[in-house]
Amino acid sequence: MQLEEKARVLRAELESLSSLVVAYSGGVDSAYLLHVAHEVLGERVHGILADSPSLPRHEHDAAIALAAARGWPLKVIVTHELENPLYVANPANRCYYCKQELFDRLDDYAREHHVARLAYGENADDAGEFRPGQMAAKELAVLAPLRDAGLTKADIRELSRRAGLPTADKAAQPCLSSRLPTGQSVTREALALIEAGEKVLRESGFRVYRLRHLGNTARVQVAPEELPRLNDGALRQSLAAELSALGFTQVEFDPEGYRGASLR
């Protein structure tokens, strides 16, 4: 199916809805979904940003600013996944408990405001990956209009460029909890430390970065094309000093770089 046809399928699905809540994070997928839903449904779409300790403050602020600039209706709600010991234990399916909390809160909002359906930004590429959050979406019949239209991440980036969205080339930013290895507890303190460490990397000019919190060790990853900068001895020394000052007793630099979904 051609890109233009996929875009028509998306609009047709949205046009069939009387009203919609969109789970919005300010990322590539959810921003494009909210953009199109707002064009189609106007004030009958409700964008909801979930505020939790696993959302970096700069992402929180950027998501709100983008919605304001585009005129999208947006409400911020607080989620409480850290009160769930199953989430805190950080099992392999941690994302299920996160999405379960998110969709429960969205469902509460939809019922209170008489909104017909919920939707989130899963795309066609996600269908082939291990994503425990999909189960939580199925349990509450949360729609995935981008996926249903066959839109891939590359498609969404291209359509976002055409729409003039600044998220078109934005690197993916999974939640801060994803920086912790499976089985290492998710705590507010650990998330705050990861956020502070990644702020150091961002302010040092890296575009795609991850700071893995491995107990007392920080493992720095950047995109392969950014490795030459990271290999600069003076910069490494400076980064190691700043990360150590935050409380890490050891700092490692991944020689292969980060090769996750953000590089699609």
If you count DSSP H runs as helices and E runs as strands, how many of each does the chain have, helices first?
11, 7
Backbone φ and ψ of 171, nearest 5°: -70, 145
φ, ψ (nearest 5 deg) of residue 73: -65, 130
Give the pLDDT score at 210: 97
Domains delineated in the chain: 3-162 (3.40.50.620), 187-263 (3.30.70.2210)
Best CA proximity match to 22, nearest among 102, 93, 133, 126: 102
Q: Is the dihedral of CA 147, 149, 155, 157 positive or negative?
A: negative
β-pair type (45-51, 20-24): parallel
- Mind listing the pLDDT tens digit for each residue in 134-146? 999 999 999 999 9
**For residue 67, what is the enclosing H or E element?**
helix 57-70
User: Residues 7-43: pLDDT tens digits?
Assistant: 999 999 999 999 999 999 999 999 999 999 999 999 9
CB 5 within 8 A of CB 102: no
Element (H, E) at 59: helix 57-70
pLDDT per residue as tens digits for the range 99-115: 999 999 999 999 999 99
In the predicted structure, residue 127 carries a pLDDT above the cut 80 = no
